[in-house]
Amino acid sequence: MTDAKAAGPRQRGGSPQASSHTLLEGRLGYQVESALLVRALTHRSYAYENGGLPTNERLEFLGDSVLGLVVTDTLYRTHPDLPEGQLAKLRAAVVNSRALAEVGRGLDLGAFIRLGRGEEGTGGRDKASILADTLEAVIGAVYLDQGLDAASELVHRLFDPLIEKSSNLGAGLDWKTSLQELTAIEGLGVPEYLVTETGPDHEKTFTAAARVGGVSYGTGTGRSKKEAEQQAAESAWRSIRAAADERAKAAKAAKEAAEEPIRETADDATKAVGEPVRETADEAVEAAEESEESVQGADASSATA
């Protein structure tokens, strides 16, 4: 394996596939050996329709392990006090089909996947399972071609925002559970979700609104009802949490404003009491010094006599 290296010019000829791969490599930040990248992008539906070509499943298996290692290492180091069970839940919140698919969509990975006609016709380029599997295969390809350092850097760049976001989630480590916990704390009631769908059966889009106590706090869209509800729950959680934080900040400011006159009065009283005490102490010291001088004078007179 070679050391990690940034993408630079590599001769691939002038084919459309080469141009497409160059675009993907630019988004990844690494060049990958051509045949290896082609395999990483080859879904089994395409392989079966084209005479049993090699699929990306072995690379997916490898990439899944690399991804798991890097994420687990990051969580272990950044959360030194969390028990094993909670670390496992945090990892599951980051390494799952829905999260991987969102990262894949951010790369527009679906546009580069080699799909069979059947999957192509049923919206396979945006299916969460296909996007997640292909992303793992691409990570596996980067690992084989560029080494662990490069694969680790790629995982960090793509997944660190998700790792940071997961720290906001509650005990269930999903937004619907976290929203329910927050609304219970705030005394708002139990969330409910109103879901609508549009589009043909093979390419539906779901829209969800998260409502609490009859008030809509957030909306979300997705390729599945679950995905839309999770996005709506996240939006609602952030809205309610922001309002709660503002109330807490205002309450703290009001408390500090109310306590300030009391502190000033206490300080004034301390000064008023302290000043006579200091004056009395000073007078006592002066009297003692004068007495000592008198004694010393008397002693001197006696000695002279």
Q: What is the pLDDT of residues 218-268, one digit of tens each?
A: 999 888 888 889 889 989 988 998 998 888 889 888 888 888 777 766 666
More reliable by pLDDT, 277 or 204: 204
Contact (CB, 8 A) for 62 and 140: yes
> pLDDT, tens digit, for every residue of 97-112?
888 999 999 999 999 9
222 forms beta bridges with 206
Share of the chain above pLDDT 70, in %: 78
Dist. CA 14–CA 7, nearest whole Å:
18
Residue 161 has pLDDT above 80, yes or no: yes
Q: Is the pLDDT of residue 290 over 80?
A: no
Cα separation, 249 vs 154, in Å, equals: 39
Overall pTM surpassing 0.85 (yes/no): no
Full 3-state SS string of 86-110:
HHHHHHHHHCCHHHHHHHHHHCCHH
Which residues are annotated as catalytic? 64, 136
Q: Is the pLDDT of residue 15 over 50?
A: no
Highest mean pLDDT among 55-64, 87-96, 265-274: 55-64
pLDDT at 3: 38
Phi, psi (deg, nearest 5) at residue 288: -65, -40
List the single range of 171-185, 200-214, 236-250 with lowest mean pLDDT. Answer: 171-185
> Residues 215, 190: contact at Cβ < 8 Å?
no
Cα–Cα distance between 176 and 180 in angstroms, integer?
A: 6
CA distances to 94, 112, 188 from 7, rounded to whole Å, are: 27, 18, 51
* Strand (E) or helix (H) holding 8: none
Pick from 10-14, 26-30, 176-180 the range whose average pLDDT is largest: 26-30
